């Protein structure tokens, strides 16, 4: 490719070198996907995917991996890159940190942020259809985004099993506590804030006197 910098900018991947662009049939048979092959810049520091600390090379790990990225026009985009392991002093052999994704995710952080933003505003079924991901993926993404926004501790973990999630928006400066009906996938309650008082307000609304609205 003559100029890959324009692709880095269009795809929002300033940290890497775009090496290849290929259009392929999608695995699910639903149209085509754009596969963007990227690699780390020469001399880039390798970091542990869990803690972000510098760590030496360990092995090739599971080889090449793909991450779903934001759509480009009408096609889905997959970022493809090697995912070697580093030998972290704390975590041992761990997949290297990918600058575009959260650890352990099949999606880029840009895709996840978009998904979480939408999940706070629309029925999960709507988000799932619009972004062409499963409902399970939507909830997994919301969990990762929220955990990151709350500094790695998931303060509402015990409650999420009953369908309560907190979602960050406006670049993590504000939070919504959202309650989702897992049977219908519909958002049934939401309020700004993410503390115990917010959750208590939900249970107050559930009281026999009915929603105060």
Residue with tokens 């985004």: 145
Task: State the minimum distance, in angstroms, from the CB of residue 109 to Zn ion.
Answer: 18
- By beta-carbon proximity to Zn ion, the closer residue of 36 and 48 is 48
- By beta-carbon proximity to Zn ion, the closer residue of 93 and 193 is 93
- By beta-carbon proximity to Zn ion, the closer residue of 76 and 144 is 144
Task: State the minimum distance, in angstroms, from the CB of residue 44 to Zn ion.
Answer: 17
How many other C-beta atoms can be found within 10 angstroms of the C-beta atom of residue 65?
A: 16
- By beta-carbon proximity to Zn ion, the closer residue of 22 and 90 is 90
Task: State the minimum distance, in angstroms, from the CB of residue 94 to Zn ion.
Answer: 6
Enclosing H/E stretch for 175: strand 174-181
Q: Which residues bind Zn ion (CB under 5 A)?
A: 48, 50-51, 88, 90-91
Adjacent-strand bridge partners of 37: 20, 80
Give the closest residue to 96 by CA, choosing from 144, 147, 45.
45
Task: State the minimum distance, in angstroms, from the CB of residue 95 to Zn ion.
Answer: 10
Give the closest residue to 152 by CA, choosing from 143, 162, 161.
143
* Chain mean position to CA 51: 17
């Amino acid at each position: 490719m003559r100029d890959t910098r324009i692709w880095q900018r269009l795809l929002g991947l300033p940290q890497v070198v775009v090496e290849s662009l290929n259009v392929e049939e999608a695995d699910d048979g639903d149209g085509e996907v754009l596969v963007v092959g990227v690699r780390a810049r020469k001399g880039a520091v390798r970091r542990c995917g869990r803690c972000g600390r510098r760590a030496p090379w360990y092995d090739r790990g599971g080889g090449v991996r793909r991450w779903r990225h934001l759509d480009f026009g009408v096609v889905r985009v997959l970022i493809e890159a090697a995912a070697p392991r580093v030998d972290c002093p704390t975590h041992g052999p761990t997949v290297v940190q990918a600058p575009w994704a959260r650890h352990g995710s099949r999606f880029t952080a840009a895709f996840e942020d978009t998904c979480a933003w939408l999940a706070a505003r629309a029925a999960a079924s709507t988000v799932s259809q619009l972004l062409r991901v499963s409902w399970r993926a939507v909830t997994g993404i919301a969990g990762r985004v929220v955990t990151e926004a709350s500094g790695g501790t998931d303060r509402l973990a015990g409650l999420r099993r009953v369908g309560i999630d907190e979602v960050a928006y406006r670049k993590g400066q504000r939070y919504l506590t959202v309650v989702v009906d897992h049977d219908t996938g519909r958002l049934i309650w939401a309020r700004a804030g993410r503390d115990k008082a917010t959750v208590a307000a939900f249970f107050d609304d559930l009281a026999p006197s009915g929603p105060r609205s």
